[in-house]
Structures are given as structure tokens and as C-alpha cells.
Amino acid sequence: MGGLPHIMADVTLDTKHTSPAGWRRVVAFSSGSALIYVLSFLIGVAVWELIAAQLPGVVFATPSEVTGRLIEGLANGEISGAFVNSLRHMIVGLALAIAVAVPLGFLVGRNEAAFHIADPIVNAFFAIPSVAFVPFLIVWFGLFYEGRVSLVFIMCVFDILVTVSAGARNIDRAMLSVGRSFGASRWHMFAKVMLPASLPFLFTALRIGLVRAINAMITAELFFATVNLGAYLEEASARFDAAGMLAIVFLLALFGLGAQEAIKFLERRLLPWHVRN
């Protein structure tokens, strides 16, 4: 895609430099950079503590209060129960988006005519913030589970589509030519050439889609009928309970980062030939 979605697919959440040499280094704790990461964390928390100490407790909470609230909520089931429920519509919405966007992405990426037909439409949809569709989704799917699934779907489907189509378009031509000149059958071309060449960007699409789905999960819980984590956030805000709200914000951010790292780890394990960095 020539326009905006293309750069989104390229740069969005492209955190492959997040931790140079990956988490192994952090785990091994051998090099100096691990120390800097710990330092970064400590300095960040200290700054946060300082800021929080200046502000009244109803407005902002200290790191220790937030951690305490998070552990308490996870242990007594108040946060963990809501979180598990939230995952339900997230996973269903994401699965639907993948089922639609991956085949469509291949079609658009491998067929020139389909690409230029889809290009303006995808650009147009991309330019509209997904939440703006919420009033529609309420009319069509109601305020509850189906509505939330539909928002997760809408919020991930274009990101995945754009990533897959960009990847499919950039499959190395030489590889396809080699397959063809060795007389590979259609099935062989698909199984031995196309699929392995596609796995790297399919993983990228999954990673981008997942982070977007987590984002959509909480958005849906606040903009439709408030339930689960969204309800926890609303109640905390009604009580002026800053620690409770920040606990959810950090839970979601850590979940997003964790999910992203997990997919990168899987990628390294399953696609050792695809060397990053």
C-alpha cells in the first residue's frame, strides 16, 4: 500500500530493538546492558514515586500502592477474574480478524489488480479512528459480548490485512523463480516456498494484531456496557482510587509487552532461519 497504512505496518510497534539481543541477555544477566535496564526501571520508579508524593493521593498513586493493589486484586480474584473474562472477547475478535485478514491480505498482496482495487478502500478505513464505529456497532450488535467482539475485530482487521499484504508483496522473487525453474508443482510451491517465506510476516502480523486486540479489549469494555476490567476502572474512578486505576493500566501494558515478547520468542524458536537484527 503506497499510503499511510504502509508506514503504519512498517513502524507500528516495531520494537525489535526494544531489548538489544533480546531477553536472553536480561535473563543471563551477564552483560552491562542488563544492569542499565535494571537502572532504567529503578530510576523510572523513583521518578514516579517523587511525582506521586507531590500530588494528592486521590489523583495519583505511588508505585508501591499500585503494585500492592495489583497483587491483592490478582490474588482475591477481583482483577484476575475480570481479566480472564476480558480475554474471551479479545481472543474471539482477534481470531475472526485473522481468519478474514490473512487470506484477504494474500489475495491483495499477490494480485496486482486486487491490490489497486483495495488500496483506496483500505486507506479510507484506516483514516477513520475505529472507536468512531462504536455507535454503529451498538446498533448492529448490541451493548454486550457481540458488540465487544465486533470492536476487537474492527480494530485488528486492517492492521493485520496491511501487514500481510505488504509481506506477501515483498516475497523474494528469486525464491519463487528457483521453485519454478526446478519444476515445483503448485502444492510444492505453496508448502515449500510460499509458506516458509510468509511465516516471518505472519508472525509480525500476529504480534501487531495482538497488541491492537489488547487495546481494543479494554476500549470495548469502556465504550459499550462497562464490564470486567472496564467496570473495575469505572468503579475505581468513582471512588477516586488512583491506585486501582493505575493497577489496571499497568496490568494491560505488561500484558501487551509480555504477549509481544512471547511471540518474538516463538518466532526465534520456530523460524531459526529468519535472522533478525
Partner 1 sequence: MSNTRKRFYNALGIGITLLIWELAGQYMGDALLAPPSSVAGTFVELLFESDMVLKLIGSLQLALAGFGLACLIGMPLGAMMGRSAVIDALVHPWISMLVVTSVAAILPIYILLFGTGDQFRVAIIFTASVGYIVLTAYHGARGIDPKHIDVARAFSTGRVDTYRKVIMPALFPYLITGARLGLVHALRAMIVAEMFVISGYGGLIFHTGLDISTAPILAYLLLLMAVSLGANMVLQRIGQAAAPWYEARMQRA
Q: Using an 8 Å Cβ cutoff, are 143 and 224 in contact?
A: yes
C-beta contacts of 107-114 below 8 A and 24+ residues apart:
108/161, 108/165, 108/168, 109/164, 109/165, 109/166, 109/167, 109/168, 109/169, 110/168, 110/169
Check residue 17 for interaction with partner 1 (CB under 8 A): yes
Among 130, 163, 198, 228, binds partner 1 (CB under 8 A): 130
Closest distance to partner 1 from the beta carbon of 182 (Å): 28
Pattern 78-97, partner 1, x by CB under 8 A: --------------------
Cβ(237)–Cβ(245) below 8 Å: yes
Q: Which of residues 21, 58, 262, 266 is near partner 1 by CB under 8 A?
A: 58
Minimum distance of partner 1 from residue 78's CB (angstroms): 17
Distance between the two ends of the chain, CA-based, in angstroms?
Answer: 24
* Least gap, CB of 188 to partner 1 (angstroms): 28
124 binds partner 1 (CB under 8 A): yes
Residue written as grid cell 462504536 = 134
Q: Which CB atom, from 120 or from 196, has the smaller least distance to partner 1?
A: 120
- How many residues of this chain bind partner 1 (CB under 8 A)? 73
Q: Which of 11, 27, 174, 275 is close enough to bind partner 1 by CB under 8 A?
A: 11
Residues of this chain, 164-203, that bind partner 1 according to CB under 8 A = none
Question: Which of 82, 27, 42, 76 lies closest to 255, judged by CA?
Answer: 82
The DSSP output letter for 13 is: T
Is 42 strand, coil or helix?
Answer: helix
Length in residues, the chain: 277
Query: Which of residues 7, 50, 71, 270 is near partner 1 by CB under 8 A?
Result: 7
Among 30, 33, 170, 177, contact with partner 1 (rule: CB under 8 A): 33
**Complex with partner 1: residue 54 or 181, whichever CB lies closer:** 54
CA atoms of 6 and 9, how far apart (whole Å): 5
SS (H, E, C) 162-230: HHHHHHHHCCCHHHHHHHHHCCCCHHHHHHHHHHHHHHHHHHHHHHHHHHHHHHHHHHHHHHCCCCHHH
Q: Which stretch binds partner 1 (CB under 8 A): 132-140, 162-170, 196-204, 268-276?
A: 132-140
Is residue 29 at the binding interface for partner 1, with CB under 8 A as the rule?
Answer: no
Site for partner 1 in 204-263 (CB under 8 A): 211, 214-215, 218-219, 222-223, 233-234, 236-237, 240, 242, 245-246, 248-249, 252-254, 256-257, 260
The smaller minimum CB distance to partner 1, of residues 127 and 270, is found at: 127
